[in-house]
């Protein structure tokens, strides 16, 4: 077990290291001088921020300093929580801009990931049991996994927002309201949350259902299921075992799918102008706000890694094979 976690932590540490290094390297490797490009572009519209940026730029990205020292400075700044200053939201530091948007993204992501996982697994297990249900659920599942996240979001916004007019199609809350801990505001918040949540939930649902269905069928064909049946065990018992064992790879799948779902959340937010990381990202891209862009990437990487680690812990708790530190578990 210790070996398992050491290995995992090594991978996550390495991933973080590589993500940071990509962040460091990309602006320097790209043809031309993107940072300078960003600054010149920005100096036209916002002289003040440009000046501050230049100062920051000289401090950390100082071109008179050798590359390895720049790299070192970059890490030092990172550990001080200094991700630079946002151009687009000048003079707010990147870290606080990101921190403001984060709750919205989490409020979308966490429920949609967990609920789609639970509901999808339940549906998949049911489909594996019933031929009739299977024929109906499977095609729907495949269509859902094939839908681009933003397109389903657009359709939902169009149908639920424009045609039916049931839900607002833009923003995290009404412009008329100011954020406060009041009943009106919370209802408004939820009202704005429903469509983007539903969109994310639905796209992810199909994948879990299909995965679970296939896994349960696979488990039902496995040796231990055959043996139980040969000893006359009722289907109830065999299915219960199959379901329990099929859930295990789905936990790993949850962690592996995370990167994709986060990507989905980003574009869904863009569709609904939901004030989370996705909309922030869009602003960063269109304003060429590279520091903000990189800050967002870093937050996403950290989030994904933390979540992965949580999934690992859950996995160890439910699968005796990894708990015993023997072969057989996932690597």
Partner 1 sequence: MSAEVVLQTEVVGRRNEHLYFALRNPKVAIGLGIVLALLVLGLVGPFFLSDSPNEYVGPKSEAPSGEYWLGTTYFGQDVFTQFVHGLRSSYLVGALGGGISFVIGLAIGFAAGYRGGMVDEILNMITNVVLVLPALAVLIVISSYLEVRGVVTQAVIIGIFSWPWVARAVRAQTFTLRNRDYVDLARLTGKRAPQIIMREIMPNMASYLLMSVILLFGGAILFAAMLDFIGLGPTNAVSLGTMMQQSMAWSSLHLGMWWWFVPPGLAITLIVGALYITNVGLDEVFNPKLREM
Partner 2 sequence: MTLEVEDLQVHYRTMKGDVRALDGVSFSLADGEIVGLAGESGCGKTTLGKSLIRLDGRMQHVGGKAVLDGAELPIGDDRAMNTHRWKEVSIIPQYSMSALNPTRKIGKMIAELLRSRGKSYREIKGELVHRLELVGLSEKVLDNYPIELSGGMKQRVVMVLSTLLDPSLLIADEVTSALDVTNQKAVAETLVRFRDMGFVKSMIVVTHDLSLVYQIADTIMIMYAGRIVEKAPAETIIKAPKHPYTKALIGALPEVGLEHGDERLQSIPGKPPQLLNPPTGCRFRDRCPLASDECAEEPPVVAVDAGHEVSCWKAED
Q: How far is the CB of 207 from partner 2 (least distance, A)?
A: 24
Which one of partner 2, partner 1, none interacts with residue 230, CB within 5 to 8 A by kind? partner 2
Measured from the Cβ of residue 5, the count of other Cβ atoms closer than 10 Å reads 15
For the CB of residue 111, give the shortest distance to partner 1 in the complex, in Å.
19
Binding residue count for partner 2, defined by CB under 8 A? 25
At residue 221, what are phi and psi to the nearest 5 degrees? -95, 0
Pair 65, 72: CB distance under 8 Å: no
In the structure encoding, which two tokens stand for residue 103, read together?
């709750």
Q: Considering CB under 8 A, how many residues would be counted as binding partner 1?
A: 65
Please compute Rg for the chain using Cα positions: 24
State the distance between the two ends of the chain, measured CA to CA, in whole angstroms: 12
229 interacts with partner 2 by CB under 8 A: yes
288 binds, among partner 2, partner 1, none (CB under 5 to 8 A by kind): partner 1
Structure tokens at 302: 């950290």
Residue 41 makes CB contacts below 8 A (sequence gap 6+) with 288
Sign for the CA dihedral angle at 265, 268, 270, 273 comes to: negative
Q: How far is CA 185 from the centre of its chain?
A: 26
Closer residue to partner 1, CB minimum distance, 197 or 299: 299
- Residue closer to partner 2 by CB (options 313, 326) is 326
Angstrom CA distances, 161 to 60, 131, 167, stand at 46, 36, 5
- Looking at the DSSP bridge assignments, the partners of residue 93 are 85
**Residue choice 99, 135, 227, 306 for contact with partner 2 (CB under 8 A):** 227
Answer yes or no whether residue 233 interacts with partner 2 by CB under 8 A: yes
Nearer to partner 1, 37 or 323 (CB): 37
Residue 307, classed as helix, strand or coil, is helix
Q: Is 230 in the site for partner 2 (CB under 8 A)?
A: yes
Please identify, among the stretches 4-12, 19-27, 38-46, 314-322, the one whose residues bind partner 2 according to the rule CB under 8 A: 314-322
- Under the criterion CB under 8 A, does residue 317 sit at the interface with partner 2? no
Q: Which listed option, partner 1, partner 2, none, makes contact with residue 30 (CB within 5 to 8 Å by class)?
A: partner 1
The total number of residues shown for the chain amounts to 331
Question: With CB cut-offs between 5 and 8 Å by kind, which of partner 2, partner 1, none does residue 324 bind?
Answer: partner 2
Q: Shortest approach of partner 2 to residue 241 CB, angstroms?
A: 5
> Which residue pairs, CB below 8 angstroms and at least 24 apart, start in 184-189?
none
Dihedral angle sign, alpha carbons of residues 274, 278, 284, 290 = positive
How far apart are alpha carbons 279 and 311 in whole angstroms? 27
Q: Which residues contribute to the site for partner 2 (CB under 8 A)?
A: 222-224, 226-234, 236-237, 241, 244-245, 248, 319-321, 324, 326-328
Binding site for partner 1 (CB under 8 A): 10-12, 14-15, 18-19, 22-23, 26-27, 30-32, 34, 37, 138-139, 142-143, 145-152, 154-155, 157-158, 161-162, 169, 221, 255-256, 258-260, 262-264, 266-267, 270-271, 281-282, 284-286, 288, 290, 293-294, 296-297, 300-301, 304-305, 308, 331
């Amino acid at each position: 077990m210790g070996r398992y976690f050491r290995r995992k932590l090594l991978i996550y540490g390495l991933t973080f290291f590589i993500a940071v290094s990509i962040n460091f390297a990309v602006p320097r490797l790209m043809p031309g001088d993107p940072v300078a490009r960003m600054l010149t572009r920005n100096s036209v519209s916002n002289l003040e921020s440009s000046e501050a940026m230049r100062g920051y730029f000289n401090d950390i990205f100082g071109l008179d300093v050798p590359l390895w020292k720049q790299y070192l400075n970059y890490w030092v700044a990172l550990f001080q929580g200094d991700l630079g200053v946002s151009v687009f939201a000048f003079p707010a530091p990147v870290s606080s801009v990101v921190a403001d948007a984060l709750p919205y993204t989490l409020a979308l992501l966490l429920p949609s990931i967990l609920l789609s996982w639970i509901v999808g697994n339940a549906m998949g297990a049911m489909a594996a049991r019933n031929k009739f249900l299977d024929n109906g659920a499977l095609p729907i599942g495949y269509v859902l996994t094939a839908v681009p996240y933003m397109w389903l979001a657009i359709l939902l916004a169009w149908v639920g927002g424009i045609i039916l007019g049931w839900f607002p199609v833009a923003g995290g809350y009404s412009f008329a309201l100011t954020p406060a801990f009041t009943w009106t505001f919370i209802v408004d918040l939820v009202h704005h949350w429903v469509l983007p949540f539903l969109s994310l939930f639905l796209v992810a649902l199909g994948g879990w259902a299909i995965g679970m269905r296939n896994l349960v069928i696979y488990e039902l064909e496995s040796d231990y299921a055959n043996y139980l049946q040969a000893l006359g065990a009722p289907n109830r018992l065999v299915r219960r075992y199959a379901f329990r064992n099929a859930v295990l790879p789905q936990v790993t799948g949850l962690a592996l799918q995370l990167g994709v779902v986060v990507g989905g959340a980003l574009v869904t937010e863009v569709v609904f102008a939901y004030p989370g990381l996705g909309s922030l990202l869009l602003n960063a891209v269109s304003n060429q706000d590279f520091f903000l862009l990189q800050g967002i990437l870093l937050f996403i990487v950290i989030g994904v890694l933390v979540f992965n680690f949580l999934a690992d812990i859950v996995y160890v708790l439910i699968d005796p094979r990894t708990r015993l530190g023997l072969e057989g578990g996932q690597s």
